[in-house]
């Protein structure tokens, strides 16, 4: 089974900055569309993290 790895896109020439912390972004796991905010690895991970209790939160049945 081949594990599909995301290809990183070099965006250093675009001079993008993280919409949350403002750090300069050198690469993204996707091609930036230009009209959407981009996030650095740390902020992207925090946004996707389950800590904020999204729709996939822990199930609780009473």
* Site residues (vs Zn ion, CB under 5 A): 18, 20-21, 40, 43
Nearer to Zn ion, 1 or 10 (CB): 10
Buried b (16+ CB within 10 A) or exposed e, 12-31: eeeebebeeeeeebeebeee
- For residue 24, the minimal CB distance to Zn ion (Å) is 10
d(CA 27, CA 45): 14
- For residue 30, the minimal CB distance to Zn ion (Å) is 16
Nearer to Zn ion, 7 or 38 (CB): 38
């Amino acid at each position: 089974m081949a594990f599909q790895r995301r290809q990183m896109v070099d965006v250093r020439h675009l001079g993008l900055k993280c919409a949350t912390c403002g750090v300069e972004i050198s690469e993204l796991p996707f091609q930036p569309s230009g009209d959407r905010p981009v996030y650095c690895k740390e902020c992207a991970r925090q946004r996707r993290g389950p800590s904020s209790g999204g729709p996939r939160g822990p199930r609780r049945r009473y």
